[in-house]
Amino acid sequence: MLPTIDPTSAEHDLAGWQILLIFALLLLPVLATLFYYLVFLNLAEKWWSFRYKIFPKDIPLNIKTELVNHQSFYRDLPPELKYRYEQRLMVFLKSKKFTPKHMPAVTERMKILIAASAVQITLGLNRYRLKDFRDIHVFPDRYWHKYAGKSFKGHVSSRRGLICISWKHFEHGYDHPDDGINLGLHEMAHAVKLQLIRKDVNFRFLDKFEHWAKVGRKKLDTIRAGKNTLLRDYAGTNLDELFAVSVEYFFEQPEDFRDQLPELFQSMCDLLNQDPIKKELLNQKT
């Protein structure tokens, strides 16, 4: 007796194979994206950090020119801190992904100045790379945040490892370096705190932050009681905003900060391990 052949079985096999192929093709971009974020950027960051530590390189002229022209903080640093700043800036630039949003491109100048705002805050810290914040989205102006249901000038997403910046407001910060308003410093301050306290705990920073928070809560009460001095009232929103706004004033109006809020100023120096007036690190080994 001849075996019966089901004329549709080959078609069924083919259809199954095709489904698998389509599934694999759909999965490929997801796997490629995961590989890019979890492996490639991580390795790239480690490599560039290692590379500049072992084989330091002179900063390219175009980067130096941008810093000299737009970063008064950098301009005033003593040579040894300038060098530390430059090496760190190059690692930061190599290890972040800058994405233009509603604009044609993120220019070299934008990348350099955005990286500079992070390096400025972390200059005194060992952990300066904000390694879990790999994505930086740059918008031309305010942008709509779907989930918050309002527009922002900048925000940081710890879950997505994302920092968003409105270039118009970012640029204002460095065009007016002493008005106490600097979006870049503000958003990077949020990222630094999230990185070193929530994402990848640094116990030295955590310890210093707890001390800062004790002083900060007193300032928060003062602002909420309507007796605010120096910091803009937005600092009274909560402790996180107080910290971010304090970072802006710490670098843009350090003398006024020291004179009007000496305890908060000193706790900022201790936390960030730097004195923005003397242009020096408190502890070279931290």
| Residues near Zn ion (CB under 5 A) | 241, 244
Question: Which residue, 188 or 244, is less far from Zn ion as judged by CB?
Answer: 244
| Min CB(250)–Zn ion separation in Å | 15
Gap between the Cα atoms of 176 and 182, Å rounded: 8
Question: Which residue, 179 or 241, is less far from Zn ion as judged by CB?
Answer: 241
CB half-sphere exposure, 174, CA atoms < 13 A:
24
Question: Which residue, 88 or 193, is less far from Zn ion as judged by CB?
Answer: 193
Question: Which residue, 171 or 241, is less far from Zn ion as judged by CB?
Answer: 241
Side chain identity, residue 118:
A
202-211 LR contacts (CB < 8 Å, sep 24+) = 202/125, 202/126, 202/127, 204/286, 205/125, 205/127, 205/271, 208/267, 208/270, 208/271, 209/271, 211/267, 211/270, 211/271
| Min CB(192)–Zn ion separation in Å | 12
Other CB atoms within a 10 A radius of the CB of residue 284 amount to 9
Question: Which residue, 112 or 244, is less far from Zn ion as judged by CB?
Answer: 244
| Min CB(155)–Zn ion separation in Å | 7
| Min CB(234)–Zn ion separation in Å | 8
Position of minimal CB gap to Zn ion: 244
**Which residues, 6+ apart, have CB-to-CB distance to 94 below 8 Å?**
44, 45, 48
Parallel, antiparallel, or unpaired: how do β-strands 135-139 and 97-100 relate? parallel
| Min CB(69)–Zn ion separation in Å | 27
